[in-house]
Amino acid sequence: MTNVQTQNVDKTPVILKVERDLVSSHSAELREQLRTLIGQGARNVVLDFGQVRMVDSAGLGMIIAAHNSLKKVEGELAVTECSADILELFRSMRIHQHMSVTAAGVVSA
């Protein structure tokens, strides 16, 4: 489901390229991968959504759970390369008020 491009501990960003839709059927795999990464010490995690077409409420819940876990250890979660539809979903659910969410082609600050 995901391809870890870079892996490190502490504040070095770990970029996960999500390769499947983040929906009820598929979100467990990414949840487990994030749990493992955070357990290994990753604190800045970036989810690359360049190949994600759909996110449902289970996927949103998984993202919030990862965000909550990282916040507890003073880390951050960001989502990049979002399609216009997913960006609209995140904004309508106010997800963008809690983490960096950027559109496809936009470099995260």
Partner 1 sequence: MIHVETMNAPSQRAGDLSASIAASQEAIEAFCWDFQQWLGTELSSRDAFASELLLREALVNAVEHGCAGSPDLMVRCVVRGGKGRILIAVSDPGPGFDWTRRLALVPEATATSGRGVSIYKNYATRIRFNKAGNSIFILMQLNRPSLAAGATND
DSSP symbol at 21: -
Task: Using CB under 8 A, list all residues that contact partner 1.
Answer: 23-25, 54, 56-58, 60-62, 64-65, 67-68, 83-85, 87-89, 91-94, 96-98
Minimum Å gap between C-beta 35 and partner 1 is 13
Q: How far apart are CA 101 and CA 83, in angstroms?
A: 11
Nearer to partner 1, 21 or 48 (CB): 21
Structure-token pair, residue 109: 């600050």
Minimum Å gap between C-beta 29 and partner 1 is 12
Nearer to partner 1, 6 or 24 (CB): 24
Whether 48 and 70 have beta carbons less than 8 Å apart is answered as no
DSSP symbol at 96: G
